[in-house]
Structure 1
Amino acid sequence: MGWKKDRAEIKELMAARPDPDGRRGNESQEARAINEQLDRKLREQPVWRRARALYEN
């Protein structure tokens, strides 16, 4: 899978989180499932891409 497709999927998962910034401590099943998918997708990427996906606008 290409980086552009991975980045788009990561952005979609980040937008789909019920608690996007993590400040409310949402621990619902949906939030946990989305966060697990997001974590898995980010771990597949090299470190510099992880940072780019998380911190770019």
Structure 2
Amino acid sequence: MGWKKDRAEIKRLMAARPDPDGRHGDETPQAEAINAELDRKLREQPVWRRARVLYED
């Protein structure tokens, strides 16, 4: 998958999280699945891309 598709998928997953900032400790099966998929997608990216996704607007 190309970077643009990966980035769009990562942004979609980040928006789909029930607890986007992680402050409430949402541990429902849905939240766990979304976070696991998001983590997998981010680990596939080089470090500089991970930072770009997480810290850009």
Q: Name 1:27's counterpart in structure 2.
A: 27
Number of aligned residue pairs:
57
Cα distance in 1 for residues equivalent to 2:36 and 2:25? 15
TM-fit CA distance, 1:4: 0.6
Q: Name 1:16's counterpart in structure 2.
A: 16
Equivalent residues in 2 for 1:1-57, closer than 5 Å: 1-57=1-57
Which whole-Å deviations, capped at 9, do the CAs of 1:6-47 have from their partners, x for residues lacking one?
000000000000000000100000000000000000000000
* Structure 2 residues not aligned, in runs of 5+: none
- Relative to the length of structure 1, the TM-score reads 0.98
Paired amino acid for 2:56: E
